[in-house]
Structure formats: structure tokens, C-alpha cells
Structure 1
Amino acid sequence: MAETSPAAYYTLLCLAVGVIVLLKLTKAIFSSRHGAGARNLPPGPWPLPVIGNMHSLLGALPHHAMRALAQRYGAVVLLRLGHVPTVVVSSPEAAREVLKTHDAVVSNRPLYVTADILSYGGQNIAFAPSGSRHWKEVRRLCATELLSPKRVLSFRPIREEAAAGLVWSVAATAAPPLATVDLGERIKVVMNDILMRCAVGDTCPMRNEYMVGLDEVLELLAGFNLVDLFPGSRMARMLGAGSLRAAREVHDKVHRIVQVIIQDHESKDANDGGSGGRRDDILDVLLRLQRDGGLETVLTTEVVCAVLFDVFAAGSETTATTTIWVMSELVKNPAVMKRAQSEVRRVLQGKTRVAEADIQGQLPYLQMVIKETLRLHPPLPLILPRSCAEPIKIMGYDIPRGTTIFVNAWAIGRDDRAWPDANEFRPGRFEDGTVDFSGSDFRFLPGGGVEGCALV
């Protein structure tokens, strides 16, 4: 009998080792889904070794892919993104259980490594540990000082001036000779200008650089780092080192810019003895509270920078995106546009300039148009993820501790069981006032839960 060659022997040995490793991986995956006391885990696609279900989200926007999975597996779907167990809920009933029934257990955000760097170690509102003294104080600060009704009202002249400027610029472009108007870009510029003036004043150094830096921060936060998907993996940390370095560089750059803006504010205050007749902006309020104290948390420069970022992140892109979607839906639905135009012209007849007082409560149909736009095109299709601190049940399924939970607001807004003719743009569906926007109706998100808004 012929002897087995060394090459063939080593080939067989490698194949045997490979089969054993594959069997162990398969057993581990099977145990994670069906073991641990025969838990009743949510259904979902079968995960592949190493990458899990990441391939299931390729080729489409994540919220689109997740809705397709929900249509196949149900309102609660279990995925494994890398090594991270993830649950996606896509119905009002499941969202209620996450955002209300188990709100206290799932109120914390998973602090991904990139978010940890860019949020100063979770010192902003979105990523601060829920229920902590710092979290409570910063939220109270926003509610009573930064975004109180009185403070928001004080910014009315800024909003009115910016709106008038937008109207006049579009009208000037539309006059002969006609030119193409990129309305979306102009809306973004106006929204950013309003936020900048409210947050740091009418004039401040390095204004444009700050906006560019914020865009870079948001772009980094929108993605995943390999370390987030494979926590504890040395190889993931090595392969993700470049993006971590980029996050630190952007963080340092934005921090330096904010320090320059703060120094400019402090210099103006020193020269004119306070605001000197200037309208207090949000940074003025933060610096005053930093000087005077009285809070249970220390307003360090890092906290000031983190809170300023929250103001911009929550207001700039979301407001501009919603406004652009409103315009797009009006163009696509001429009958809706005609009714909205008729209402606006009736209310503003004879006025050359729009004041907020003139339209307060006077444009109910336009408000319905905005609500319908938010239903179909939520600014954040996937509400910021939550981390499960303890084992819970959602719709009868066992959700293990440490699971990341996403609420697919985009899918809920297009759920035919919750909304008749869900994919049609019909503002009139809100005319009877049966949809509650105070947070108790989970067909319409954001909203809900003890936080009042699921986004922050």
C-alpha cells in the first residue's frame, strides 16, 4: 500500500481542524439562539459565522432592510451584528413595550467607542447614563434654561428674519432672467444660520469651521466601528484604529474651535459688563451658569461643548430634512399643495412680512401636512439604539441582558395595520385629532416613554 505523502497528511489535518472549528462556531451560534434554558428568543435570519447577520443589511438603507426582515419574521426580529445581539422592533405595540413598559430598563444608550470619544465620555444628553445625577441636571438645564418657552420666544426675531431672507432670496432668483434654485441647499443654510445665531450669537469667530467640524462628527457617528461590532477583539481594534484616530482628530479640532468661541464670548462680556444689551444666546446661558454655579453637576468646558453639540445635532439636519421632505411631498401631491397654499394665502393676505404671531394656531392644514411628512419621513428612521440592562420580555419573546434594541420608526409609520393606506400622503388622516402626540400613541414617533421624546 502506498504511503501517505507529508503534503497530503498536512492537508487532511488542516481540513479536520477547519471542520472542528466550523462545528464549534455553529454550536456556539445555535446555543446563543436556542440555549440558556430554552429561552423563547425572537425569530430572525440565521447568522453566519463571525459576521452574524451583517450581510442581511447590505444593498439597502438599514431601516428599509430591517422593515423587509420584519415583514418576513414579525414585529420583533433578532439579529447578530458581528458579535452584538440586536433586536429590531417594527410595530406600535412592540415600541410601546420598549419605550414605556420597559423604559427604565432600556433607557441607556450603548456607548460605542466612536460615540464615547465624540461625546466626551458620555457627558452630553444623548449618551449620558440615564438616571444619573449628571443626566438629570443636564436635561433639567435644557428644559428650564436653554429651551424654555421664554428662551425660545426670545429667538423669534432670528427665525422671522431668516424666514424673510429665504423668501426674498428665492423670489429674487425666480425673477427674470430665471435661474435654477437649489431649495434644499438654501433651506439647510438657513436652518444652520438660525441655530448658529441662537446657540453662539449673531457673530462669532470660526463659525464656518465649526459647522464643517459638526458635519464630520455626525458623519462619524452615523457609522459603526469594527470595535463596536466585535468588542474585545484585538484584530477589530487593530483594523479599526484608523477610524478611531479620525474620531479623536475631529473631536480635538471641534473642541479647539469651541474654546475660541468661548474665549470670544468671555472677552465680549468682560468689555461690556455682561451681554451689554445683546440677546443672550445659549452659550451665554451656559457660561453664566458655569460662573454662578448652583447646579448639582459641574459645567466643565467639556460639558458645555457636549451640550452645544446636542443642540446642533438635534436641530440642524433634522429640521432641514423635514422641511425638504414637506416641499417634496407638496410637489408630488398637487391637490394637497393647492389646499395648503389657499390656507396660507388666506391667513397672510395683505401682509408683506410674516410674523410668528400671525400664524400661531392659524394654519391647521399645514400642521397636518407636517405631521404626515413626519409619519412617512421621520428625521431619524431608526431611533437611537438602547441597551438592555436586564433580561426582559417584548411581545412574549425573551430579550437577554446586553442586547441592543432599535425601534424602526420608519417602518411603524408605514405599517398598514396602524395607518390605512399607509404609503399614501394623506394629511387629512390627522383631521379628527385621534392621534395623540404627547407620547402615549406609539403609532407616531418620536415620542413616548418617560423621557417624553425617544430621541434624547
Structure 2
Amino acid sequence: MFYQSSLLLVVSWFLFFVFCLRWTRSKKSPVDYPPAVPGLPVFGNLHQLGSLPHRSLRALAEKHGPVMVVRLGRLPTVVVSSPAAAQEVLKTRDLAFASRPDSSITDRLFYRSQELAFGKYGEAWRQMRRIGVLHLLSQKQVHSFRKVREEEAAALVARIRAAAGPVNLSDMMIDFTSDLICRVALGRTYADAKGGGSQLRALFGEFSEIMGLFPVRDCIPWLGWIDWLSGLDGRARKIGLELDALLEKVIAEHRHRRKLAAKIDANDMDLVDVLLSLGDRDDDASSSNISLTMDNIKGLILDMIIAGTDTTKATLEWAMVELIRRPEEMAKVQEEIRRVAGPRGEEIREEALKGMEQLKAVLKETLRLHPPGPLLLPRESMESTELQNYRIPKGTRLFINIWAIARDPALWDKAEEFLPERFLGDSDAGAATLDFRYLPFGAGRRSCPGAGFAMASLEVVLANLLYHFDWELPHGMSAEEMDMDEVFGLVVQKKSSVILQGRPFEA
């Protein structure tokens, strides 16, 4: 009897201890999973994304909160729409959210995602990040391509002068960006053959469009046959083969050049030269403690080409559209550019850009209203973690809706208006990047390593366009008539082309 009483007492105390321990831990642990948006069986919330997911997700966040879960078929996906949550993902818990989810499209087009943009987080990815930051896109490397940027900006100005009438700026800008990136990354343009420019434009445009799609097989595997039936598989295969053929041609040309030259001067090296010098040309073995396979090299080259073409073109388009719709802002920035540059009568040199604060503000405001990647690239949690006191299981996908954050009226005065002045001087908006209200290039481990090159390119070409021409809408068209519709893809772009009349300015 005494033994039974003692055993009961011990068990009671043990259960009490376990209860207290679990209660204490529960007080310290997250409250629950993020609120889930109600959806359909099997399909989840796919039908609610629409053609412009960043806008649809903002509308859902207004109802369900700044941290919510949408289900893309079988895939639970967290969507973040506040600076505080974005800061936690990109800074406080950056390592936990540093990986990328699986994607059949990126695996097919980016060499099984063995590159920088879509590669899984790990030692191989960290090595490529170091290569990107130190060897490909360092401040020194960006500066070394200054002459190329200036020459391509001058060539764009010459083409507009030669047109002597309304011009399709969209086509001219994609020519500018593709020529610039090809020269920097590949050593020369690949638009010099008959029809080469239009073919390259079409290829990059198709690539961007397909990268903005959600393959059914990723969301609902047993319905993967729909991707074949819809033609998505065929399109992806065709684009992949065409891009690989281009990269094979580029690498073969560079290897031939390296064989002919005993040593290539560092000042004459493009990004492919740098990558080939880091990797081994014959057996993909390591070189200088850096191991790069041919798939790594091709993937990194593709990263540079794709990241630098449509993003730059889209930002230039939106900047010109916003300025043409607000003549007073156009006048301010043109007065500054022409005053700082002086009566040169030639292309604007990059050293003159340092004093053009209004120009920089115009570009920052353009990127606030029209970030090229409004949802950034998706992340995946590498471990079970927390976010704003919610539980986030390992393997959860996550999007950050930087477009919604940058247009939140609670965070920005006159959030939907184009007001470059908000980025001038010591205004509160100047610290927006630090408080995670302004994230066009992301932040943390997965931030865009090409931000410096992108801004240098944008500044020099926009300065040249605004210095050399007074712009107006053609055929008496009014600003209110301009089509501002977007099209979603890897980069969100203006749906219709920008047609403007540029009248040469005489200093």
C-alpha cells in the first residue's frame, strides 16, 4: 500500500513537472502558424493570384495581415508585406531563410540551379557568391566597365538623333541593355548578324515571360501533364537549347582567344574571361582553391545576362513614363543635368553624375513605385523557425511583397504618387533601405550583387537621354492617355511600348 502511494506521488509530481515544462516552453514559443487564406481543394489559392500576383497578394494581405499563408496547390507559401517582417526575414533570421525552393523551370533553364540566383544555400553557393562579389561585380570591376557604359549610352543617343521623329524607346532600350550586358559579360555584342538584335530581344523576352509562370507540376505534381499540354514544357526546352547554344558559342570563342594570347591583360578581360580563369578549362577541376564546373560557369554567365537586361530596360521605361507624365519633375532633373554637365555637346561622363542628386532621386523613386522584381525571388526556410511570433516549419516557401511595402500609405506620404523629392537630402525616406521600406535590390545574403553596376548604368543612360533631348508625347497625345498597364514575368514591365518624340537640345 505504501509502495503504491509513493509511486502515485512520484508519477503525479512527474506529470506536474512535464506540464510546467511544456507550459513554460509554450509561453516562449510562437503563438501559432500564420493566418491562412481560405482556398479551394487541390488548387489552394492559385486562382486568386491573377495575372499580377503582387497586386493580388497586397489585396489579400489587407484582409489577412502582413504575414499570411497562401497555398499554391500543395505548397504552403508565406507572404510578407510589412517592413518589420521583411527585416526579420532578411536580417534577423537571414540564414534560416537563405535557401531557394525547388523549381522545375529554373532547374531546366539554369543548369539544375547550379548558379547564384536560384542555387540552394550551401558551401557551393557561398563560393559562387564570393566569386560574384569579389571577381565579377566588385566596385573595381564595375568601374572598369565605365567606358563601355558611356559608349553604349552615346550610341543610344545617336540612334535617337538618326530617327528624326517619334521613336520606340522600349525597343531602343532593350537594344542598349542587351548590347551593354553582352559587351561586359561576353566581350562583344551578339546582335551584329542579320536579324541578330531582334532574335536576341525575342529570346530574352520569352525567357522573362516563362520565368514568371508557375509550373503546374511544381504545385500539383499529379497534374504535371498540363505543362506539356499547355506548351510550357516545349517552350522551356526550346529556350534552354537556344540559350545553351549561345553560351557554348561564347565559351568556345573565349577559349580560342585564350589559346592565341599568351596572357590577357586584366583591363581587357570580360566576365567570361574572369570565370574561365577561375575554373579549369579542360576537366572542371579546381583552380586557385576555387572549383567551378562548366554548369556553374554557364549558370553564372546566364545570371549576369538575364539580371542586367530586362531589369535595366524596365526601370528606364518607367522612369521616362513617370517623367513625361509630370513635366515639372522632368524640368527639375533636366535643369540639374544640364547645369552640372555644362555645354559639352557630347555624352555625359560618369564623373559628372556625382553632383546629380535630383537624377538619383528620380531613379530611386522609380524603383520604389516600379521595382523590377516586386516579390523578390522566393526563399525557403532551411530549418523550423519563427517569424513575427508565428511558427514557420522547415521547407516553407516565402515571398516578400516589396511592391506592397513601397506603396503602403501608412509608411509613405502620398504613396501612389511619383515624388522624387522624398529621396533628397536628409529626408526620412533617405533611411528607407535601413528600415526595410525600400528594397528594390533585396537585402542580406540573397541581395542582388549587381546593384552597383545596375545603378551606374541607369544613371549614365538616363542622364544622356535627358541632357540631349526635350521629350514629349507624339501626335498631340496627352499624359492621361498613356497606358500604364503592367505585364508580370521574371521582371514586371510596362505592357505597351513607350513611344516618345525627342527633340534635340542645343546647349
TM range (shorter): 0.7 to 0.9
Q: How does 1:301-312 map to 2 (within 5 A)?
A: 301-312=294-305
Q: Provide closer, same or farther for how the CA distance between residues 236 and 39 of structure 1 changes in structure 2, counting only shifts above 3 A.
A: farther
In the alignment, the residues of structure 1 paired with residue 308 and residue 58 of structure 2 have an alpha-carbon distance, to the nearest angstrom, of: 26
TM-superposed deviation, 1:203: 5.2
How many equivalent pairs are there?
411
What residue in structure 2 maps to residue 149 of structure 1? 139
What residue in structure 2 maps to residue 202 of structure 1? 188
TM-superposed deviation, 1:96: 0.9
The match for 2:272 among 277, 283, 295 is: 283
List per-residue Cα deviations over 1:352-403 (Å, max 9, x = no partner). 2234344231100110111111111101111111112223332233223322
The match for 1:356 among 340, 349, 355 is: 349
In the alignment, the residues of structure 2 paired with residue 193 and residue 290 of structure 1 have an alpha-carbon distance, to the nearest angstrom, of: 26
In the alignment, the residues of structure 1 paired with residue 344 and residue 103 of structure 2 have an alpha-carbon distance, to the nearest angstrom, of: 51
Q: How does 1:331-370 map to 2 (within 5 A)?
A: 331-370=324-363
In the alignment, the residues of structure 1 paired with residue 212 and residue 131 of structure 2 have an alpha-carbon distance, to the nearest angstrom, of: 27
TM-superposed deviation, 1:163: 0.9
Matched residue type, 1:80: R
TM-superposed deviation, 1:145: 1.3
In the alignment, the residues of structure 2 paired with residue 313 and residue 128 of structure 1 have an alpha-carbon distance, to the nearest angstrom, of: 15
The match for 2:44 among 45, 52, 64 is: 52
TM-score normalised by structure 1 residue count: 0.83
Matched, 1:446 2:436: no
TM-superposed deviation, 1:263: 1.2
Maintained 8 Å contact 1:438/1:447? no
Matched residue type, 2:327: P
Maintained 8 Å contact 2:179/2:189? no
In the alignment, the residues of structure 2 paired with residue 381 and residue 361 of structure 1 have an alpha-carbon distance, to the nearest angstrom, of: 28
TM-superposed deviation, 1:159: 0.9
TM-superposed deviation, 1:115: 1.1
Maintained 8 Å contact 2:30/2:389? no
Matched, 1:220 2:199: no
Q: Provide closer, same or farther for how the CA distance between residues 316 and 372 of structure 1 changes in structure 2, counting only shifts above 3 A.
A: same
Matched, 1:260 2:249: yes
* Higher mean displacement: 117-126 or 428-437: 428-437
Matched residue type, 1:446: P
Q: How does 1:70-109 map to 2 (within 5 A)?
A: 70-109=61-100
Q: Provide closer, same or farther for how the CA distance between residues 454 and 102 of structure 1 changes in structure 2, counting only shifts above 3 A.
A: farther
Q: How does 1:24-423 map to 2 (within 5 A)?
A: 40-58=32-50, 60-130=51-121, 132-174=122-164, 179-202=165-188, 212-230=202-220, 233=221, 235-241=222-228, 243-275=232-264, 279-291=268-280, 293-423=286-416
In the alignment, the residues of structure 2 paired with residue 400 and residue 452 of structure 1 have an alpha-carbon distance, to the nearest angstrom, of: 20
In the alignment, the residues of structure 1 paired with residue 279 and residue 30 of structure 2 have an alpha-carbon distance, to the nearest angstrom, of: 53
Matched residue type, 1:353: E
Q: Provide closer, same or farther for how the CA distance between residues 288 and 390 of structure 1 changes in structure 2, counting only shifts above 3 A.
A: closer
Maintained 8 Å contact 1:322/1:373? yes
List per-residue Cα deviations over 1:410-439 (Å, max 9, x = no partner). 101101111111111111111233445695
What residue in structure 2 maps to residue 7 of structure 1? none
TM-superposed deviation, 1:274: 3.8
Maintained 8 Å contact 1:67/1:411? yes
Maintained 8 Å contact 2:174/2:201? no
Specify the SS of the correspondent of 1:361.
Answer: helix
List per-residue Cα deviations over 1:75-107 (Å, max 9, x = no partner). 112111111101111111111111112211111
Matched residue type, 1:364: E
CA RMSD of aligned residues (A): 2.6
Matched residue type, 1:262: I
TM-superposed deviation, 1:310: 0.6
Maintained 8 Å contact 2:49/2:56? yes
In the alignment, the residues of structure 1 paired with residue 362 and residue 266 of structure 2 have an alpha-carbon distance, to the nearest angstrom, of: 39
What residue in structure 2 maps to residue 17 of structure 1? none
Matched residue type, 2:143: L
Q: Provide closer, same or farther for how the CA distance between residues 100 and 47 of structure 1 changes in structure 2, counting only shifts above 3 A.
A: same
Give identity over the alignment, percent: 36
TM-score normalised by structure 2 residue count: 0.75
List per-residue Cα deviations over 1:172-229 (Å, max 9, x = no partner). 323xxxx321112211111111001111112569865666544433332211111110
Q: Provide closer, same or farther for how the CA distance between residues 149 and 127 of structure 1 changes in structure 2, counting only shifts above 3 A.
A: same
* Higher mean displacement: 195-204 or 290-299: 290-299
Matched residue type, 1:236: L
Q: Provide closer, same or farther for how the CA distance between residues 84 and 325 of structure 1 changes in structure 2, counting only shifts above 3 A.
A: same
Matched residue type, 1:451: R
Unpaired segments of 5 or more residues in structure 1? 1-36
Unpaired segments of 5 or more residues in structure 2? 1-28, 451-507
Maintained 8 Å contact 1:160/1:355? yes
Specify the SS of the correspondent of 1:360.
Answer: helix
Specify the SS of the correspondent of 1:422.
Answer: coil
Q: Provide closer, same or farther for how the CA distance between residues 449 and 339 of structure 1 changes in structure 2, counting only shifts above 3 A.
A: closer
What residue in structure 2 maps to residue 28 of structure 1? none
Maintained 8 Å contact 1:438/1:448? no
Maintained 8 Å contact 2:368/2:440? no
